[in-house]
Amino acid sequence: MKVEDYIEKLKPYEGGKPIEELQRELGIEGEIIKLASNENPLGASKKAKEAIKKATGKVYLYPDGNAYYLKKKMAAKLNIDMNNIIFGNGSDELIELIYRTFATNPDDEILYCYPTFIEYKIIGMGFNKKLIELPLNNYAYDIELLLDSINDKTKIIFLNTPNNPTGAAIPKKDINRVIDAVKDKNCLVVIDEAYYEYAIAEDDYEELLDLYKENNVIILRTFSKAYGLAGLRIGYGIAQKDIIDYLNRTRPPFNVNILAQEAAMAAIDDDEHIRESVKNNNEGKEFLYSEFEKLGIEYIKTYANFILFDTKKDANKIYEALLKKGVIVRSMAGYGYTTSLRVTIGTMDENRIFIEKLKEVLDV
Ligand SMILES: Cc1ncc(COP(=O)(O)O)c(C=O)c1O
């Protein structure tokens, strides 16, 4: 079989290394901690797990393709209309649907700052799109540069706030400037808030939900992070009715499975679990900040559940050395940050183990 050049050039997405893979590869028998994929270290809420158990009897049935009850519940929680919501098999799928639905002209340009969530790039390459990648400014989205780069071909702008992998947030006034700049153009602004629940706990992170009222905006959020349901694959988009309607036309019919729908409904009811998760994250963040400071390691203030830190040493080597000690983080060398790594904030026990092993690896 032959494929087009742009498919030939694609490299599959590389996620954080699964624990089982590390066990297999290095024969490590002791405890392994994974702080590599920004999952919730407290796991899923009890209520969600009970709902999953209860729903197993229904798995021979197709799920509700419209996710009616879940949509109703989410609409009530957000105080918006059901018609303004779409669910996806993870927000990853929604990113793909956005490309498939709106970036259909060969001349379309896709705009974002980089490093950011790498799926904007991988999915865009899979659609053979012209990707305009602008550098970050001091680890944050460079809004001036982004505004200067908008033209009549710009079809999708990805704004990731907080930005994965740096943790920086985009001020609401800057997001508004981007929205204003494309108001009269046929261009969609995607505000990816995968880490919303963590971000909103910070004093200076502003609520962005009302921006869905703009006619060319979609806000993406997910159950994979603070809700602890990454393994079930469920995320959602909030936008004007016509945007949701078009996305529904290209959406596979049963994209969100029964267990994910039931778990998400139960998770929405478990505010306590989100509070606990955010509290754990804040404690872990303060602990890691202070340990990094003691070690003289520079880090970026995060609005999410991960921290980008600079060891001033070869990041890939540090990554490999940590792996051998049973700690999985992410090297940022592939993003051009050759001496930086990203660590997901874990439980306090995991954070302590990580720091202990990091000190051993750095020989301090
Ligand atoms: C910024 C950002 N957007 C989207 C996603 C994808 O999330 P999901 O699991 O809902 O597909 C991630 C996952 O890491 C992310 O970091």
Q: What's the rounded mean pLDDT across residues 144-152? A: 98
Band (16; pLDDT cuts 50, 70, 90):
confident
Percent of the chain with pLDDT over 70: 100
Strand partners, 64: none
| Protein residues with CB under 6 Å of any ligand 1 atom | 38, 90-92, 117, 160, 164, 192, 194, 222, 224, 230, 235
Ligand 1 mutation pick, 87, 92, 159, 306, max ligand atoms within 8 A of CB: 92
Q: What's the rounded mean pLDDT across residues 26-42? A: 91
pLDDT at 281: 98
pLDDT at 15: 83
- Find, among 116, 84, 86, 72, the residue nearest to 234 by Cα: 86
pLDDT at 266: 98
Tell me: the pLDDT tens digits for 292-335? 999 999 999 999 999 999 999 999 999 999 999 999 999 999 99
* Span from the CA of 149 to the centroid of ligand 1 (angstroms): 25
pLDDT at 237: 98
* Span from the CA of 92 to the centroid of ligand 1 (angstroms): 6
pTM equals 0.97
pLDDT at 350: 98
Ligand 1 mutation pick, 121, 123, 164, max ligand atoms within 8 A of CB: 164
Taking the CA of residue 160 as reference, the ligand 1 atom at the shortest distance is 1
pLDDT at 30: 80
pLDDT at 168: 98
* Span from the CA of 67 to the centroid of ligand 1 (angstroms): 20
Average pLDDT of the residues of the chain: 97
Q: What's the rounded mean pLDDT across residues 88-95? A: 98
What domains are there in the chain, each with its CATH number? 5-43+272-362 (3.90.1150.10), 46-270 (3.40.640.10)
